[in-house]
Every structure is written in C-alpha cells, then in structure tokens.
Structure 1
Amino acid sequence: MKQALLIIFLFTVAAASAQTIQIAGNLKTTTGEAVPYASITLKNSLQHIITYTTSDVNGHFKLSVHDTINIQGKTIEINHLGYKKVSTVLRSGQTLYDIILEDKKINLAEVEIKSPPKIRSKNDTLSYDVGSFTKSEDRSIGDVLKRMPGIEVEESGQIKYNGKNIANLYIDGDDLLNDRYNVGTKTIPHEMVKDIEVLQNHQPIEVMRNKSISDEVAINLKIKEEAKLKMSGQAKIGGGTPNLYDLELNSILFNKKHKMLNVAKANNIGIDLSTDLTAFNAKNMLQAMDNRRPAELLSSGTASTPGLPKERYYFNESASLNANNLTNLKNGFQLKSNIGLFIDNNHLDYNSWNEVYLNNDTIRYSESQDISKKPYLANISLNLKANKKTYYFNNTLKVDLSGQKDASSLNSNNLNIGQLLRTNTYDFSNTLNYIPELKNKNILSVNWYINHYNQPQSLAITPGMNENTFNDSIPFQGINQSTEIPTWFNNVSFGYRLPKGLIKQNYLVGLISEWQHLKSDLELTQANGEQTSFAKSQNNDLYWNRHRFYINPSYEYERGPWESILSIPLAFQGITYSDENFTLQEQHKRFLFNPNWLLKYSVNSEDYIATNYSYSNQIGNINDIYRGAILTNYRNLQTNRTTLQEKDTHNVDVRYNFQRSISMLFMNVGANYSIVSANTINSLEITDNLSQTVQLPFANSTNTFSVNGGISKYIFALDLNVGLRSSWSNTRYNQFLNDQLLPFNNISFVFNPYFETRLLNQISLKYEGKGTWTTSKLISDKVNNSFPNRQINVLDQSLGLSYAPTKDMFMKISGRQLMTKQKNMEKIDYFFTDLSIRYRIDKWKVDLQLDANNLANIKSYEMYSLSANEFAYSHYQLRGRTFLFKLTVRL
C-alpha cells in the first residue's frame, strides 16, 4: 500500500509540473464575419503536423502545445472551402492571432458532387447527421445507430461509443427514459431525428459543469423542428402460423414543454418485452454499500440458457406497457413519470448432462426439465427535478413489484421430480439530491437515499429425494424450502466542493445504515403427511446490522493536456449479527480504505491515454455467514462454516482512445490487471445425486489479466463501415473439491469482425462474426493426471443481404451460423435462415411486412459449456419455422 501511495504521489507531482502554452485566435472574412469550422494546423519547419483543431461557430480557435516546444518559426495553416489558404508564422511571446480569410472563387465545372455521410465535431460534442447514414429499409433510430462508425449496439440493446458504455440517452436534452433507452431506440422513427450527438466528458448536472472532471459519454437525439409540432405514433397488428400474434400501439410527442413515449405491446413470437424495462447503467446511492443486496437464494434448475438469440427458444405469451411522460414547468422544474408493466407465460424444454472430474473418479449428472414460468413486473418512478446553473434539485420515488411462479417436471439421474418455485420482490426507494452553488461560488451537496427491499421465495419438491442425506435413509413425500431477507437501507451524506484553484477539492461525509433479517425453513413431508424439520440443521433466524461512517476527500487537477482525480475515502464500519438457533453472536469492526486514482493525458483534441488504479476492502454480506442449511435447488445444499468474508482487491486499468472524427476512424485499446485476495473459499462436496457447498475459512486469491481493443472506420469511396473488436483474458483461481485444493487457469480469446456496405444503391450487405476460444486447465496436478485440459471453440457469424428493387419495397435475407468444436466430441453446427419482405404505401401511411423465420425448421439446439473441472452438454427445444404477416399504420 505504501508503494502504491508513493507511485500516486510521484505521478501527481509529474502531472502538476507539466506546463502548456495556449495559442488562440479569431478567423474573420474581409467584411468582418466569423469563419466557423475551418481547419487549423500547427506545423514545424518540415511541414509535419504538431497539433490541429477546428474553429467554432464564432470563428474562435485554440491550440495547446507543451512549453518545451519553441513556437517561434512554427506555422499556423488555415484551410476552408471557399477561402484562400492562409499561413501565419508564429512569433515568440505572442499567443493571440487575428487572421483574415479572403474569398476564393470555385470553378463549378471542376467540382465533383458527392454526398458522403456528414459528421461534425465541436469541443466535446460529435454530431452525426442522421439522414447521411439512413438507408431506405430503416425504420427506427436504432437501425441507424447500428451502422454509425464508432457506435456499437449490442444484441441486448446496450450502446457503446468507441468501446465505452454510454451513461444515458437523452431526447432533445431531456432524460425521458431513465436509462431504459431500449424502448426508445426500437420505437422512435429515424425520420424524427436530425442529429445524433455524442457528448464526451459529459456532466449532466448544470451547476457542476466546468467545475468537476467527468469521463462519461452520453448520446442526445436532436429532434427535427417539424417533428415537434404534433403527436405521432404507430399501430401494428400481426398474425401468422403456428398461432402467432404481434400487437403494438405507441404514441410519441417531443416538444419543448412536453415529451412522451408510451408503448403497449403483446406477442407470442419470442420477443422478450421485459428488455424494454431494463436500465443499462442504473446508478443510485445503493452503490455506496458493498454487496448490499443479496442475490436470489433459490432456483428451479441448473442448466444455463442457450447461446442463441432469445426469440429462437423463447415460447412466450407476453404483454407490456411502457409509459414515459415528462413536463417542463415554467419555474424551471421538470416533472416526470415512468411506469412499466409486464406479464408473461413462457416455458423452456431442455435436457442436459454434466461431468465433474475428481481424482480417480468422474461424477455424471443428467437433467431433463420442462419449466413453465409466469413472471410479472410493475414499476413506477416519479421524479421532480430542477437542473439550473445555480442549483440542482432531484427527488425520485420508485416502487417495484415483481415475481415469478415456476412449475416444472424434472427427471434427474432417472428420478422423476415435480417442482414449484415462487418468488416475489418488493422494492421501495426514495432518492433526494440538493446541490446549490453558494455565494462564494463553492458548492454544497445534500444526499439522502432510503430503501426497503424483500424477496420471499419458496421451493416445493415432490417426491422426497436423497433420503440418506435428508431423512436418515427413510423415504418421505417431499421437501419445502422457504427463504426471505427483508432489508432496510439508509444513506445520508453531505458534500462541500471548492471548484477554484489549481486543484479542485471535494469533501464528502456520510453515514450508511443497513438492517437485515434472514429467515429460512427447510421442512420435510413424511410418508404419513407430517411436517418435520430437517434434522441435520436448524433453520436460519439471522439478524444483521451494518453501520458505516465515511469521509471521502477527492482532488481534481486539470491543466493543459493533463487531468487527474484522486479519491481517498476512509470509513469506520461496524457489523453485528446473531442467530439464537446456533448461539451465534458476532461483532466485526474495522477501518476501510478504498483509494482510487485516475490520470488522463490528452495527446491532442481527440486522442487520450488514461490509467486508473484502485484498491478496495470489501466485507461480505448476510449470505456469507448463515449457519442453517438451505436447499438452493434440487441438487445443491448450501451452508457456511466460517467468519465474515473479507476481500482486498488491487485493480490497474490502462486505456488509449484514438479517433479522427472527420475521417470517421475510431480506435481503442486497453489492458486490465486485478488481484482479489479473500479469507474464505467455497468448498464443494459432490456425490452422485447431491452437491453441497460450504464456505470455509481458507485464504484464497484470484488473478486476472485482460487486454481488449477495437477499431471502426468508414471508407467513403466504398460506402463501407468496417470494424473489429477483440479481447483476451487469463484468470487463475482456486477451488476446493471433495476436500482437495485445485488451482485452475482459464484462458479466453474473442475475435469479432464486422462490416456493412451498399452495392449499386439498391443492395446492402452486412456481416458480423464472433469467434471464441476458451481453455480451462489444472495448473498443477501432483496426484495424478485425471483432470484433462479442456478447450471449446465457438464460432457465431451472421450475413445479411438487403435488396430494394423500388423505393417502396425492401427484401432482406439473413443467415446465421453457430458452430461448436470440442476435442473428442462431435462438432455441432447450425445454420439459421430468415427472410423479410416489406412494402410501404406512403399515400396511406401503411407498411405491409411478411417475416419468415427459421426457414430450415431447426427445432432443437445443442451446446457445450466449460468451467474449471466441469464439462456440460445441453439440448434445447426451439420454435421451428414461423410465418408472420404484419400491418403497420403510421398515425
């Protein structure tokens, strides 16, 4: 730790000692008018470019160079279409230049007219002209986003810019969707959007702008003026075979005072409507507490979902309502409501087998299950906000109710089992933030977050199983497991920020309190119907309190190309927990120190290199210390025999970002190394029908090193957007298996090329591939060689061909190959083909569409998975061939 702090100090001193010279100027015409968007380059005597920039809308420009460079004799060169080129020699001591540009006549006979995609850069905002990237077959703004260089849209709908997740998606500057932007990108017609603005170094709080360093990226949809005049929407009705339906009704209004996006949907075609209610970067004050919210304790099966798009295997009956409404009030306040409702009835049919490799033995599990799931979700968010230059006020009230009922018939190792799993979630929270600017220009912040959360679960299994473990080898009728952890959480903090001076300072002090109560019952139904408790363990009745008082000073340095943020939080934490059933009464008190340091160097106006170091002390939660046995699923019995888990994590991250916005070239590369040290380890005790997980007091560490990179380029001459993403990671960790410590090494490599181009103005071709190579091996096997090295190679590639024979007709055929190779196993290879035909009748504002999916009628899918010393095979039922006809009316 001392060495880490010394390194931080030395780098900060080096950053503070770096100096730059600012060369500024104004560009004007001979008549005194400003010349915007001119190209300004600083060159040396060999005509090599030192740095460059562009003039803003008022003709101003600014160049930054190191003070080690002698500017005397260097040349500023100004280029702009319609003006004569100007070269100005710099003079020693002069940093401000007023430059006059003369008009230049252009011989129109020599001009070749082209319409390449348009992209503009101004300060930290990059603007894509939507019309320049739109193709005739596009419908929503999400279709256009997918082909913009530098922007990635993952299969889940999450958006990245040059490899970095966006923090939010705004509509004309307003946060209408609360980060649940999937419904927006799917619904908003691209015709409504003029520009897509990428906001780099984005600070969403107005009073904090230019007073705090931010490295967040957000996207803003700039709406066309004519689209703000009236409400619009769509109505869609679809039907097909076998017994398919797809319905949607939406209404859209985006003007200065009111914004709304309301969508109602229902379908049974395999489209997961719950993704419209997913927040990709949910950020609130609960993140201030490590591991605060316990995960679900119970589940009904062990198999993972197949590595396919969900619509291939999702047999559903779904309906959803997504209502987002925002009003800007006259006094500068903004009132917003977000309401989401979702219900579903779906089922999954699969069978699987697992091989677990032990010394001198291999244990095999088989599982065949038909699960029927009935989830529901209702969430309401009410928000009142004022975001002004003098203060920021925000209050958000959220209520989330959700649950699921799973009923399944299961065959495991030739034993027929019936299961019923019920889960309900109750989640209430309120967030209050008040950040005023004081008269002395310093900034005060008051934050309060309160939350109540509970997730009761119950699992019923019939008939009784593993009687030798549960019931002294006496047959019995069934098992009933129930759990719940009602939780209250409170976080109050006060901050004081000094935004002036060479080093900006911020001091935050706060108190976190947490109260939890874990209750679990494991009961057996005997042959005579009597209910008895599991004799080998008491039920859990565990009380947990955690309180943390913290002080977090942070310091920001920004000068020339250097930026640095140093956070050195210190906290005192006290934890008490007790369970009378196990005569358990413990206290845990300690200081926590979690420093974080970011250093960023801007190579020029677009490129930067950043490094981040963090060290964290993490203390476990209530899931780590319960003593009573819990049957988490029909095959896994879990308990703990250790003290509270503690983890120390060192993490180092380096990232280089390169972009040439005007030429549409974007690149990024990064590396990460982390060491996680813990005082506990999970021990697995595996038998032929049951796996028992016990947490033991044994020192354990996990080391991970990874590198990743990506490149995206638009080639104007070929109308081609091409890119490549790749990553490599190596993880070393330990696992206790049947009382033996086994060190494993997992290596993964991912290669992801893609391109999209247009041919002959009527044909579009799109390709995306993803190759994954995963290897798992035992680092040292001193006993014998019973643990073979395992490697799985997976190839997932898709090719789409679109054809527009007329301006109103669009045809698309796509194919997707999924191939899996494993040594000594038969290769698995699938190829899915889909066809879509759409005809637009503008006169009636109607679209007619026919979708034919899975033309090869593939009705089942096989996959392998690899983890440490376990190899798994799964077989899933698919939807088969479908035909769907849709009618869409633009309202």
Structure 2
Amino acid sequence: MRPRCCLLSLLLLLCSLSLLAQEYKLAGRVTGAEGEAVVGARVTLSHEGQILAFAFTRKGGNFTLTSDRCYPRMTLSISHLSYETDSISLTPDRHEVTLRLSPRVSQLQEVTVEAYPIIERSDTLTYLLRSFTEAGDYTLEDAIKRLPGVEVDPKGQISYLGKAISHFYIEGMDLLGGQYHKATRNLDATKVASVDVMRHHQDRKIDKDVPTNDVALNVRLEKDAKSRPIWSGSGAIGYGGRVRYDASLSSMLFAHSMQYMALLSGGNQTERARDDALDLIVRGDPPSALAERVIGEAAASTPPIDRELYLSPLDLSVSGSVLRVLTDDRQLRVQARYGRSSTGYGYAIERHFADGTVISEESNPTALVHLPGVEIEYRDNQEGYFLSNCFVLGGKISDDQLPTMLGGGGSHFVQKQSRGLSLLDEIAYSRRLGARNHRVEGRVSLVTIPDQWLGIGSADEVSLRQYAQGGSIGANATYTLSETRGAHRLSGTLGLTSSGDYVETYQEREGAERTALNDLDVSTTSLGLSTGYTYTRPRGLRCVLNATLALSGNYLSLRNSGDRPIKLSRPLFTINPSLSADFALSPFSEVSLGANYSSGYGGAASFLSAPIRTGLTQTTTGSGTLSESSMISVTGDYRFSQPMRMWFVRLSGGYTRIRSNTLATQTIEEDMIGTGALETDNTSHLYNGDLTVTKRFHAYKTALRLYTGVSRADYRVMQNEVLLPYSSTTMYVTPELSTTPIRGLELSYAYNLSRTMMSFGGSSAQPVISYGHRAAVSVPLLWGVVWRTNCRVTTYTAFEGPDRTFPQLSTALSYRQKSFSVDLRVLNLLNHQSYRYLTFDTVNRYAYRYDLRPRTILLSLQLSL
C-alpha cells in the first residue's frame, strides 16, 4: 500500500509542477444586464492575492489575458464604476468566459475613484505615487521614501529589498546615470504619476535572455509634465550664529526624443557640491593611483548626525545633462559639472589604546575642494547588436587646513594640498550570430597626481612637508563568446590587462636634505581565462544556476629605488571558482545562494618601505613583503514580497574567511601612531546576518518596519609587539512606526538599540551601547498651515563615567499650495553646543565630540512650474 501512496503523491506533485510551467491564455466578453457591451472594465486574473495578469475591455466588451504562470485555482475579477464588482473561480482548462454585470443600484452624487496603489505584472511593480504621498512630501525623494520595500539612504542611493538599483530611468530614458539623486531631489513629486521597480532587469536588449538580479527604477510623469520645460527653484534666508542663505534653480525637460536637466545651487546652509559629484551606481573599478591613497584625507571622520547640524559650508554647484535620442535604438548622453565646496567644523577625539595609552587632540578643519567633470556616452542598443562608448574626465583640487591642539600640549597647524586628474574610456561591442553572442570590451584609464603634500608646523611656518606624487595607467581588453541552447548557456572569456603605477614620496624639512624617499615603479601584465555555465528553467517558477571558473596568470615587476631599495619580479597565478543559485520558492519568495573562492595578491603600498607621514600623529611604513591572500565566502539571501498585501521581507547572511601572509601592526609612542605589517600567517573570520520586514496597512495609512541584525569579526593585530587576537560583535534592532490616523495628521516613531562588544587578549572591554528614540509629528493648523516637529534623543554608554544623553529638536511651520511651499524652520532648537559618540577601531576605543552649530532659524520658499 505504501508504494502506491508514494507513487500517487509523486504523480500529484508532477501534475502541479506541470501546471505551474504552463502559459495560460483567457479570452472573454463583458456585458451589462441588457446585453450591452461594457467598455473600460478592469479584468484581473489573480491567485491568492497575487495579480497574474490584467486588462481593460475593448470595443465590444472583449478582452484577452495571458499569464506566464498557471494554478489549479485562479480568480477572475471584473470592476467598473457603473456596475457592481463581480468575480468567478477559474480552472486551467477554461479559456473562454462571458460575464454579465449588474448595474449599481444607488445614484452616486459624488464619486471618488481610488486605484490599486501597487500593480504587479511579471517582474515589474508599479507604485501609484499619489497613493503613498502625504502633504509634506515636496520632492520625488520624499515620496520614494514612503514606498514599501524601497529605501533611500542619506546620500540619496535607492535600494529595493536591500539591493541598490543598477539603473534609474525617467520615461524609460537614462539621463543621469549614477547621479540620479539630482532628479529625485529637484523634481516635484506632484509631477510624477507612478514609479516602476523592475526586478531582474537587463539593460542590454541583446542580453535579454541572460538572467540578472539587478533592480532598476523607472519614473513615469504626469501628462502635463511631459514634453514641456519644468522649472523649479528654492531659496532660504535665516540666522544661526551668522546670516545663513541658500538658493537653487533647476530646469528640466522630458520629451520623447530629448531630455535635459540643468542645475545651479549655492549658499552657506547646505553642502551640495560633494553630493552632486557622487556616482551612486558603480560599474567596475573607478580609475585610481597609489599616489592619491598614500596620504588619504586630512580629516576623514563623520558623525552619525545630519550634516546641517555641525558643518558650515560655502557651496557652489553647477551641472547640466542632455540625452538625445538619435533613432529608436541609438542615443547620445552628455553630462558636465563643476562643484566648489568650502567647509569647516570643530571636533575633538580621544584615542584609547589597548596598552592604556591615550592620545587626544582637538581640531577645527577647513576644506576647500573643486570638482570638475565631464561624461559623454554613446549607445546603440539593438536586439542583435550593441555598441557603447563612454568617456569620463574628472578632476579634483583640494586644500585642507587643520589647526590642532594635542592633549599633551602644543599647538600645531596641518595643511594638505592635492591636485589630480583622471581619464577613463570604455568601449563595448556585442553581436548575436544565431545562438552565439560575441562580445568585445576595452578600457583605458589614466590618473595623474602631479602635486600632493602634507605640511606640519605652525600657521606661519611649515617645519615638515610630506610629498606624494605619481600616477597610473591601465589598459584592458576582453573577448567573450557565449552560446545559448534552450535552458543552457555556456560562455568563455579571454582577457589581457596591462597596468603601471608610479609613486614618489619623500619628507622635506627647512634647510635639510630630503629624507624617507620612496621611488616606486610597478608594472603588471595579466592574462585571464574564465568559463561559465548557466542553467535557466524555461518555464514556471524562476530557477537560475550559475557556475564560473576564472584562471589568471600575472607577471609582477616592481622596483623601489628610494632609501630602502626593493626589487621584485615574479609570476603569480590565481584561481577563482564560484557557484550561485537563484530560485523562487513560490510566486512571492526568492532565494539567492552563493559560494566562491578567490586568491590574489595585495597592492604595491606594502613596498613603500620608507616611512610616510599621513597626519599629525600618524605614520605608516610598508612591510616590503608581497601580500598574498585567499578568501572563501558563502552568502544567502531570502526575499519575500507580496506587493498587493504590502508585505516585504528580506533575510540575508554570510560567512567569509580570509587567509593572508601579513598581519597589521601598530606602534604607539607618545603622540605618534605608527602602522605597518608583519610577515606571518594570519586568518580572519567574518559573520553577518540581517533581517528587514516592512508591512503597510494601506487602508489605515500605517506602515511598520523592522531592521535587525548581528555581525561578528575575529581578527588579530599586533600592538607594541604584543599579539592581540580580538573579536568584535555588533547587534542592532530598529523598529519603526508611521501612521496618518486622520488626513493631515502624521505621526512617526523609531527606536534604535545598538550594542558593540569587544574582547581581546583574554579580556573584554566595556561594550559600547547606544539607544535612541526618534519621533516626528505633523499637525494641520488653520488655512493650510502645517506644524512639524522632529525629536531625536540618543544615549551612549561612556568608557568612563555616567551615560551621556544628547537630545536634538527641530520644528517647522509649512504652507503649501499646489507647487508652491513656504517653510519656517528652527534647527537645534535646544541650542546644544556639542554631540558625542563612541566607536571601536580594532582593539582601540575612540571617543568623539563634535561642535554643533548654534540654533538656526530659516525661512525658505520652493516653487515648481
């Protein structure tokens, strides 16, 4: 009996799987009670709340539906404003239906039509923006932050279920590339009708059958915002220690054959120039040179608070972007920008080292940077042919000054000056011949750092200058042949890379000869071969299996002709296999699994054998040893999304093991911190897990979010010739609630708890615990005026003494009429003078204190035409 039951169960399972793999087609007609055709009725095919397909009835009341999935039981719903909604149950063997709707009995005096807030079709989610926005949402970024499953970080980067988007389109056109935050922060939310989230997006038509996990965003405009210029401007004036002002002006056009956007902004309230130069979509490694990384940033710390609270800028940003459609498949995009940012702030830091040494300093850094750039891209994107060429030219001119007071006494003045230029040209060509796809890609990059130095002394005299100048050049060419046969795809890639890097560093004192000379010249030639196999389930639930094997032969040649000469020439071989699987457990859930092994060798910085001064209290010395490492990484990602019920869940985790032949070292002597590396076997372990849950109750205008996770790292470090194995564990949990119980009244609350524990050398350090409350309220007053208040209270445990609590309070009165708004804001209402926070750096503990700007009152205006 048991074998028969097992056989019967197996047959039922195979039957169910075959149903899922089938394409389902349905045709029908919708009529009224008297047999009249019903035109414009919405016909929706669904299964357990998930929309499989939808359509609107045409002339004669006819409709057709096609779904790439089929289930034993499905529901067909028909809705129309003048008729009662009706639904029937369908089975896969039924392909034609005729439905008769009953007219609505009551006579409606006033009708409010509310569309579905989210429409799901295949791999695309369409959010109807007006269903999610509130009265205070002025820009597109404000509105996108409210979409369930979508997140926007402080830099403006957009993610869906934790994955950053790979493309940002406006009406199907990629005008801004990775600088899409210029659109989200300047485009009026009322000009946007909907936002599409396209999962498993492939931007090249020739590769439409190649599976990806990329996510793209497409913005669809309202009819009155298309094919006509959109102008928007804003201005602010106020006082906070001094007169504060800001102004911006933008013009944009989104037509069928051309799009453009021009931006101009400036002021001393908000820093925009650095943000406008950010590229939020990184494709490949940007060109770089060792010389620009040797000294690093003069002041690189960033507190976990809004920059407006502590940073005093003087800012100017100008940019323009034009996209011209040459034919249906060809387009030309040009972007140009210039930014000038001058910033200043004050902070203090106490560094507590494992041996009990404490080095403290106070500084008031000012930084001036110029950021010019040009990008030109041509694309010919056809079904069987692809050609693109992208040229990027960028520059950076910076001058930093850091008047600093050390805790041990003494006033110092640190200066840093840098001049740099980078050039990148990338070309890609693909052609499909039958089942085979031929792809050729090339890349040329050039970076030059002709002038860079760090000066230490007083405001009147520089006693020591650390110079670092040089550049790099690189060229890469690859050829890829792939062939697709049904569900199977094989590919092979042959690549040749040649690169060179040159850096010269030395120290110069007044009246003395140059010392600590490094004159390093590095050249690398690599020949790589990789093969890949991909299986894609042709029908039914998504299933993609991928395996790759990459082999590389490299020849490294370097020479340091400085004070401590080094010469090395040797071949190096690397092997990098990887496995990945992406499959759907159900129509609502997907799993991604990955495992890879990689081997490689470190950069040339370890051969800078003469010491380099990187700051007032920091110096670094290369080990003179070629760093070789191997890494094993295992990752898992579970995603659940039921958009029609507005449920979104993401669970991810990973483990990484790194083996290398070098160990980081620190030497602490009085007010000097020396870093380097020691040749010895070293193994590190990293673990992480994160959970994000989002649920929106749309009928109640309420959203719940939960962010929680844990990470652990096991490392070793040597400090003052003492080996210190250490472990760091961080846990966090952040629940959030936002609700609009009545029209205009908006409430939100978030709680954050973070705990970092550190143990080293057989002992445990006092954990760093922070817990905070963030609340906001928006209350409608008279004549369309809205009062908004934001409060944030953060408490940190201290290394010594009692806990410290830092409240922040801001409030505003706002008035908005269509595309015009007026705001009266008060920042730092409680007029707190400083903000403190704590952090770990390997086995060391750092305590920061940032000076806050005084209470600031701002009157701002925004207008969009």
Q: Is the 8 A contact 1:86 1:101 kept in 2?
A: no
How far is 1:553 from its partner?
Answer: 1.4
Partner of 1:739: 721
Q: Residue 699 and residue 614 in structure 1: after superposition, are their counterparts in 2 closer, same or farther (change >3 A)? A: same
1:317 maps onto 2:314 in alignment: yes
1:495 maps onto 2:468 in alignment: no
How far is 1:22 from its partner?
Answer: 2.1
Deviations 1:720-765 (A, max 9, x none): 0111111101110000111111100000012122222112212111
SS of the aligned residue for 2:280 comes to: coil
Q: Is the 8 A contact 1:497 1:507 kept in 2?
A: yes
Aligned partner (choices 790, 795, 818) of residue 814 of structure 1? 790
1:829 maps onto 2:805 in alignment: yes
1:610 maps onto 2:595 in alignment: no
1:591 maps onto 2:573 in alignment: yes
Q: Is the 8 A contact 2:566 2:607 kept in 1?
A: no
SS of the aligned residue for 2:644 comes to: coil
Partner of 1:861: 835
1:578 maps onto 2:559 in alignment: yes
SS of the aligned residue for 1:207 comes to: helix
Aligned residue runs from structure 1 range 327-726, under 5 A: 327-330=324-327, 332-358=329-355, 362-412=356-406, 413-438=408-433, 440-455=434-449, 456-462=451-457, 478-525=463-510, 530-534=511-515, 537=516, 539-559=517-537, 560-561=540-541, 562-581=543-562, 582-726=564-708
SS of the aligned residue for 1:183 comes to: helix
Deviations 1:482-507 (A, max 9, x none): 01231001111111121233311222
Separation in 1, partners of 2:738, 2:397: 41
Compare 268-277 and 443-452 and name the one that shifted more.
268-277
Q: Is the 8 A contact 2:556 2:572 kept in 1?
A: no
Separation in 1, partners of 2:485, 2:682: 45
Q: Residue 160 and residue 75 in structure 1: after superposition, are their counterparts in 2 closer, same or farther (change >3 A)? A: closer
Deviations 1:555-601 (A, max 9, x none): 11011432111121111111110123334221231221112211122
TM-score, normalised on structure 1? 0.87
Compare 833-842 and 166-175 and name the one that shifted more.
833-842
SS of the aligned residue for 1:673 comes to: strand
How far is 1:647 from its partner?
Answer: 1.6
How far is 1:514 from its partner?
Answer: 0.8
Deviations 1:845-877 (A, max 9, x none): 643321211111112222222233312222221
Deviations 1:435-472 (A, max 9, x none): 1222x2421111111100133420111169xxxxxxxx
Separation in 1, partners of 2:611, 2:401: 23
Partner of 2:35: none
Compare 727-736 and 803-812 and name the one that shifted more.
803-812
How far is 1:262 from its partner?
Answer: 1.2
Q: Is the 8 A contact 1:272 1:310 kept in 2?
A: no
Partner of 1:128: 127
How far is 1:511 from its partner?
Answer: 0.7
SS of the aligned residue for 2:703 comes to: strand
How far is 1:191 from its partner?
Answer: 1.6
Q: Letter of the aligned partner of 1:608 in structure 2? A: E
Identical-pair percentage: 18
Q: Is the 8 A contact 1:301 1:634 kept in 2?
A: no
How far is 1:610 from its partner?
Answer: 1.4
Separation in 2, partners of 1:136, 1:463: 53
Residue segments in structure 2 that go unaligned for 5+ positions in a row: 1-16, 32-38, 56-63
How far is 1:84 from its partner?
Answer: 5.1
Separation in 2, partners of 1:103, 1:753: 48
SS of the aligned residue for 1:437 comes to: strand
Q: Residue 463 and residue 345 in structure 1: after superposition, are their counterparts in 2 closer, same or farther (change >3 A)? A: closer
Q: Letter of the aligned partner of 1:59 in structure 2? A: L
Separation in 2, partners of 1:458, 1:686: 24
Separation in 1, partners of 2:775, 2:50: 39
1:727 maps onto 2:722 in alignment: no
Q: Letter of the aligned partner of 2:529 in structure 1? A: I
How far is 1:625 from its partner?
Answer: 1.8
Separation in 1, partners of 2:620, 2:550: 35
Aligned partner (choices 837, 849, 868) of residue 823 of structure 2? 849
Q: Is the 8 A contact 2:290 2:471 kept in 1?
A: no
Q: Letter of the aligned partner of 1:234 in structure 2? A: S
Deviations 1:33-74 (A, max 9, x none): 999752343xxxxxxx7x965124441123368xxxxxxxx5
How far is 1:113 from its partner?
Answer: 7.0
Separation in 2, partners of 1:567, 1:835: 55
1:799 maps onto 2:798 in alignment: no
Deviations 1:334-391 (A, max 9, x none): 1111112111221121222222122xxx211111112121111111101111212121
TM-score, normalised on structure 2? 0.90
Separation in 2, partners of 1:59, 1:138: 37
Q: Is the 8 A contact 2:135 2:744 kept in 1?
A: no
Separation in 1, partners of 2:258, 2:217: 20
Q: Is the 8 A contact 2:734 2:753 kept in 1?
A: yes
How far is 1:235 from its partner?
Answer: 2.4
Separation in 2, partners of 1:330, 1:610: 38
Separation in 1, partners of 2:323, 2:426: 18
SS of the aligned residue for 2:781 comes to: strand
SS of the aligned residue for 2:142 comes to: helix
Q: Letter of the aligned partner of 2:274 in structure 1? A: S
Residue segments in structure 1 that go unaligned for 5+ positions in a row: 1-17, 42-48, 66-73, 91-95, 465-475, 782-786
Q: Is the 8 A contact 2:76 2:87 kept in 1?
A: yes
How far is 1:331 from its partner?
Answer: 6.4
Q: Residue 299 and residue 589 in structure 1: after superposition, are their counterparts in 2 closer, same or farther (change >3 A)? A: closer
Deviations 1:183-223 (A, max 9, x none): 111111112211100000000111111x2011111111012
SS of the aligned residue for 2:130 comes to: helix
How far is 1:887 from its partner?
Answer: 2.9
Separation in 2, partners of 1:61, 1:872: 58
How far is 1:532 from its partner?
Answer: 2.2
Partner of 1:27: 26
Partner of 1:154: 153
Separation in 1, partners of 2:281, 2:272: 19
Partner of 1:278: 278
Aligned partner (choices 806, 811, 816) of residue 840 of structure 1? 816
Q: Is the 8 A contact 1:812 1:835 kept in 2?
A: yes
* Number of equivalent positions: 819
Q: Is the 8 A contact 2:299 2:365 kept in 1?
A: no
How far is 1:297 from its partner?
Answer: 1.9
Separation in 1, partners of 2:333, 2:104: 55
1:62 maps onto 2:68 in alignment: yes
Partner of 2:141: 142
Partner of 1:217: 215
Aligned partner (choices 221, 238, 241) of residue 240 of structure 1? 238
How far is 1:79 from its partner?
Answer: 4.2
How far is 1:293 from its partner?
Answer: 6.0
SS of the aligned residue for 2:293 comes to: coil
